[in-house]
Amino acid sequence: MYTKLKSIDIDKLQAMADSEYKLKPGVWAMKFGSTQHISNLNISNALAEEFLRINENRISLFTEFPADWKERVMGVSPKVGKMTAKPSAPKKPRVYKKKA
């Protein structure tokens, strides 16, 4: 246990301790395409919101979560009310010309 705690940096430990999300007892999940698992032992707000961003129905796996979880998951800042991520500009279609 000591070596596991020693290998985790203090910022990650603080994020896990301050998490507003708690999974139901006995529930753990894996991120698709990754070896990282999610449980109450390693959950942070960012990890839980990333997990919920994939499928909002996963909220049923949690016993505790903030009231504004949907806004957080969808990227809407509760203070400003705007998208936190910039939308990408639509790509212009390619125009192919025949060689003469």
CB 24 within 8 A of CB 48: no
Q: What letter would DSSP give residue 76?
A: B
Residue 60, helix vs strand vs coil: helix
Please write the tens of the pLDDT for every residue from 37-66.
888 888 888 888 888 888 889 899 999 899
Check: pTM over 0.85? Answer yes or no. no
Cα–Cα distance for residue pair 1/58, rounded to 1 Å: 30
Instruction: Identify the CA nearest to 23 among candidates 53, 54, 48.
Output: 48
Q: How many residues does the chain have?
A: 100
